[in-house]
Amino acid sequence: MHVITGLGVGGAETMLASLVKAEIAASQRPIVISLIPGGLVATQLKKAGIDVLDLGMVRGRPGFGSLFRLRSLIRRFRPDVLQSWMYHANLVATGALALSGRRRRTVHYWGLRCSDMDLDAYGWIFRSVVKAGGNFSAWPDAITCNSEAGITVHKALGYRPRRFLLVDNGVDIARFKPNPEARSAVREKFGIGPDTPVIATAARVDPMKDYPNLLAALDRLPQVTAIVMGDGTENLPDSSRLIRLGRCDRVEKVLAAADLVVSASAYG
């Protein structure tokens, strides 16, 4: 059983989708539970025949009802392993598992997917959840991180689990690879010449991702066109050299149009 905060488009959500599809291929029976309803990744998983449920939470409005709904689902499905993803889901899953009476029978792993973070750039609810995670970090059987930096940062935040597990990100090289046909098609669609230098990035608009940094760099490269994908990118300042796609479910096709894939992240 996987429990995640939401199933919009993002790095953790995409990795979860890849993992559960691999579990299906290995004759496992995963179930995915999202705290928040909806999301493009939820739609994709359902189309792939994967069971996806949600707890009906509203973003920014904590509710104890979701805790008891998840408790009921844990009792109903009796998972051997509970993998929670990201801060909010880690706490809700911990409470629900404790209330379910299955804490000794279900192995619980937390998932932490970032490294350094400027907590002052986020609201008080998020800051409180991150800090509360440190207080409860000994409850799961282990905490998985996707980088050594993530382990170091969370130790500094007071996380003291029974053990940290490093699980490196995997990249599907059959999906993300040079694709001349996609390169030509995407460039033609957006009116980009075949010899125009193109950079691309896939990241939501968030203080961590530092889009002002990317836009400042683009201003210094007048010959370059940038393609940006991710929640909120459609609302970035308009520019003839900035193609703003917002959410995008064919990331690999768009990246094939680029000469360089970049990250402007300030931290994390």
Summarised one tens digit per residue, pLDDT across range 209-227 is 999 999 999 999 999 999 9
Same domain, 30 and 143: yes
Confidence of residue 94 (pLDDT cuts 50, 70, 90): very high
Does residue 107 contact residue 81 with C-beta atoms inside 8 Å?
Answer: yes
- Check whether 104 has a pLDDT greater than 90: yes
Asked if residue 142 is part of any domain, the answer here is yes
Residues 6+ apart with CB under 8 A from 202: 228, 229, 230, 248, 251, 254, 255
Same domain, 10 and 72: yes
pLDDT tens for 121-160 read: 788 888 999 999 999 999 999 999 999 999 999 999 999 9
Same domain, 103 and 214: no
Predicted local distance difference test score (pLDDT) of residue 252: 93
Confidence of residue 62 (pLDDT cuts 50, 70, 90): low
Same domain, 77 and 119: yes
Same domain, 140 and 106: yes
Where a domain ends, among 142, 166, 190?
A: 166
Task: Give the pLDDT mean for 91-104.
Answer: 96
Predicted local distance difference test score (pLDDT) of residue 159: 97
Does residue 16 contact residue 2 with C-beta atoms inside 8 Å?
Answer: yes
- Check whether 63 has a pLDDT greater than 80: no
Same domain, 83 and 151: yes
- Check whether 90 has a pLDDT greater than 80: yes
Distance CA 98, CA 73 (A): 13
Same domain, 125 and 200: no
Same domain, 83 and 17: yes
Asked if residue 158 is part of any domain, the answer here is yes
Asked if residue 81 is part of any domain, the answer here is yes
Task: Give the pLDDT mean for 184-201.
Answer: 97
What is the number of domains present in the chain? 2
Same domain, 210 and 125: no
Instruction: Say what the pTM is.
Output: 0.81
Where a domain ends, among 166, 201, 220?
A: 166
pLDDT tens for 16-40 read: 999 999 999 898 999 999 999 998 8
Predicted local distance difference test score (pLDDT) of residue 116: 77
Considering the chain, what percentage of its residues have pLDDT values greater than 70?
Answer: 99
Asked if residue 217 is part of any domain, the answer here is yes
Same domain, 120 and 218: no
Considering the chain, what percentage of its residues have pLDDT values greater than 90?
Answer: 76
Asked if residue 171 is part of any domain, the answer here is no
Asked if residue 145 is part of any domain, the answer here is yes
Predicted local distance difference test score (pLDDT) of residue 98: 97
Q: Which domain holds residue 201?
A: 180-261
Predicted local distance difference test score (pLDDT) of residue 243: 97
Tell me 178's DSSP state. -
Same domain, 87 and 20: yes
CATH at residue 72: 3.40.50.2000
Distance CA 205, CA 232 (A): 5
Where a domain ends, among 141, 166, 191?
A: 166
Asked if residue 222 is part of any domain, the answer here is yes
Same domain, 154 and 37: yes
Asked if residue 173 is part of any domain, the answer here is no
CB neighbourhood size of 94 (10 A): 22
